[in-house]
Amino acid sequence: MPHMIFIESDGTRREVDAPLGLSVLEIAHKHGVDLEGACEGSLACATCHVVVDPDWAPKLAAPTEDEEDMLDLAFGLEKTSRLGCQIVMTDALDGLVVRLPRTA
């Protein structure tokens, strides 16, 4: 099974199983990672904002215009910011590293 690494806002690294077909948001919830996802993945908020490790960012599909619009609302936006609900685990993403942004 693929795995991924969450780097929590305090710097703690958590390597978790990442079932194929689940979003980063769903994987976070499955493993108790503190990633909100207030809209439950319906692309109506930015509370599942993650920062993708720069080595992994080019391996992801480009964000849609709707995702970019929601990201504009995110706190602490960075060049590799994405919404966790829009990144779906595939074999090619085995080992994906994302960081949870620091909260205000």
Share of the chain above pLDDT 70, in %: 98
Distance from C-alpha of 17 to C-alpha of 30, rounded to nearest angstrom = 9
| Domain CATH number, residue 93 | 3.10.20.30
pLDDT value of position 2: 96
Tell me the average pLDDT of the chain.
96
| 37 inside domain | yes
pLDDT value of position 104: 45
| 104 inside domain | no
pLDDT value of position 102: 83
Residue range 57-73: average pLDDT? 96
Cα 10 to Cα 41, 61, 102, distances in angstroms: 24, 28, 8
* DSSP per-residue letters across 52-74: E-TTTGGGSPPPPHHHHHHHTT-
| 26 inside domain | yes
* Domain coverage including residue 43: 3-99
pLDDT value of position 93: 98
Q: Alpha helices of the chain — where are they, by DSSP H?
A: 24-30, 65-71
Number of structural domains the chain divides into: 1
pLDDT value of position 81: 98
Distance from C-alpha of 69 to C-alpha of 44, rounded to nearest angstrom = 10
